[in-house]
Structure 1
Amino acid sequence: MSIESDTPVKDRTYDLVSVLESSLRNAWTMEAYIADAEREGDEELAEWFRKIQHNSFKAGEQGKQLLRERLGRSAQG
């Protein structure tokens, strides 16, 4: 099954970098949402935002590792 990509560049590295950037930006954005929830005394919502932030950081770290590996392979070949 093939899914048509709407990315402007048909390139797996571009896609990887885009998702990496999005994940890390989302983790950074969660800081403001956590602060907002805490300021309003909504610890339940703040904790939910922390979980999302953790997952975004994790995805970002995995994406950085994938990118390092791929750049290393392309430099060798």
Structure 2
Amino acid sequence: MGMCRSIKTLRPPYAESVTEEDMRAAALQYVRKISGFRQPAPHNAAAFDKAVETIAAATGELLSTLEVRGGRIS
């Protein structure tokens, strides 16, 4: 049984617009996959949530600085 679906590509031309929710969903899928937990135990919840927020922020930073086909993604 798979624990999570594939993470979608969030940059053009694969995605026309990307929301904070899209980035958080991708971060959540990533953390679930690498941790092996769909839902962490209470004693791991803070670490799990912090990882999701950190990865979502890094995703936003990455997408805002990537250049695709000579133009910036914003």
Higher helix share: 1
Higher strand share: 2
Normalised by the length of structure 2, the TM-score is 0.41
Larger radius of gyration: 1
Normalised by the length of structure 1, the TM-score is 0.39
